[in-house]
Structure 1
């Protein structure tokens, strides 16, 4: 008999909620900490935009929409996936992975969704609030190139899901290496360092016109190298920048970068699934 995955996930959610409510003090502290970080980010860019009117081609309100997009993707990942991927190496160390493998459910589903960081739902709410606020300001100032319609909203939601899928695939690949390495805390540090670059729009890294890289590589700067690496090798800049540009009807050059963002996430999910199962074949049970 195959399990009903919706019911299983609902059970995971209820268990996570009960766990959070059992430690209300920690729950409240997490909410306050994340709210402080959110306010600090806004304050930083308020200071910056007090000195300039645009950063590359991003006005203050447009940048806030981009910031909200990045926060939203990151908050979803940290809410639903980070606790589980971070716990994977502990399952291996303690031998509890044996019990996960014996359960009549897809192991990757169980490993990926068992724990939910309920406190991070507040960060999702803050990101959505910032996004709505920035759009309202742009509408009042007449800075929207065109009204945001159903098409832009639907495509934006799909691109957010695409960004979440890409970061999830990256995390599950890193988590899978725990089977070979035993503990991989340094790899999680690497993941955080890597995603720092996605906090800023893709165009600010390019030294060419409109934030692109010069056609002559001899004229490239360090920013151009970063932009190319995080666009075509590990496309973290695409999966965060493109949703914001699509929602705001800002030009995407070249236009096929949107298709590349979708393709990168699909490819990432396929590779992460393969790496996960490959790693499981190398796993040695605690009882062996």
Structure 2
């Protein structure tokens, strides 16, 4: 009989191990919670100060922008909780030779190296983001319908999957470079564009190039702006078709990242070789 691993059961085992790890280092866990809380408050204070001087930024009011900010925090919270610790540790698996043990296990290697560790402290950011989103929706009076909530939730999943695909593709380069800290810095630089609404960039010729490149080539702007506009009942730009464009481009990115990961493993030289 062919062995088939139970992926949900394996993931739950990883989750339990992560809980035990966090309980073993409670001080570090508390410090991370405080750090994320400070960062969250600092972002709110910064944009609250800005909106005291201007009524809107592009077409975003203060309360609507907080909804956009909450969406970005929600996506980043899931990415950094579920995938960031593992992708950051991938180069260490190569350096120490522990990737050999992952390759020998009867389970998909990408799943194994992507899900082994979970940063539970980052779920604190998810809760903060949900609270801020609730405040934004109540303040703006946006109509909440089941269809809109389902669409928003699916687009959040799309955003998480896009950032994961980008991250695992960059992590795969560790096969050749050994340590790829510079590429992780590149990932943060790219994703920093998603901290601001898509339309803000369309103010100059350079901004138009950034808007097009990060909307339709590397869609970092779409995966945050589109769900924000959907849940806040704002008009989608440039048209309603971007609701389908973001998932399509994310699917292509996932396929490409899978190919890159498998190609990198074929070029891997084990510690024993």
Q: TM-score when scaled to structure 1? A: 0.92
**2:215 aligned partner:** 231
Q: Distance in 1 between matches of 2:215 and 2:4?
A: 40
User: In the TM superposition, what whole-angstrom CA distance separates every residue of 1:4-28 from its partner, at most 9, and x where no partner exists?
Assistant: 1111000000000111111100000
Offset, 1:166 = 0.4
Return 5+ residue gaps in structure 1 as ranges: 208-219
- SS at structure 1 position matched to 2:240: coil
Whole-angstrom CA distance in 1 between matches of 2:112 and 2:155: 25
Determine the C-alpha separation between the residues in 2 that align with 1:222 and 1:75: 30
Partner of 1:272: 257
CA distance in 2, matches of 1:249, 1:24: 41
Work out whether 1:69 is the aligned partner of 2:42.
Answer: no
Shift of 1:255: 2.3
SS of structure 1 residue aligned to 2:221: helix
Which one of 232, 251, 256 corresponds to residue 235 of structure 2? Answer: 251
Where does 1:134-213 land on structure 2 (aligned, <5 Å)?
134-139=136-141, 144=142, 147-207=143-203
Could you tell me which of 233, 242, 248 is aligned with 1:263? 248
* Deviant stretches of 4+, over 6 Å: none
Q: Which one of the candidate residues 57, 60, 63 is aligned to 1:58?
A: 60
The answer for the alignment partner of 2:20 in structure 1 is 18
In 2: Cα distance, 1:123 partner to 1:271 partner: 29
Give the CA deviation at 1:222: 2.1
Q: What's the counterpart of residue 122 of structure 2?
A: 120
Displacement of 1:41 in angstroms is 0.1
Greater Cα shift, 254-263 or 129-138: 254-263
1:101 aligns with 2:103: yes
**Whole-Å Cα distance in 1 between the matches of residues 139 and 215 of structure 2?**
30
Q: Which residue of 1 aligns with 2:51?
A: 49
Q: Which residue of 1 aligns with 2:88?
A: 86
Q: Which moved more, 1:37-46 or 1:257-266?
A: 257-266
- Matched pairs, number: 270
Does 250-259 or 195-204 show the bigger shift? 250-259
2-structure distance, mates of 1:2, 1:228: 43
For the residue of structure 2 that corresponds to 1:26, the secondary structure is helix
Distance in 2 between the 1:7 and 1:254 partners?
A: 42
Aligned to 1:236, what secondary structure does the other structure show? coil
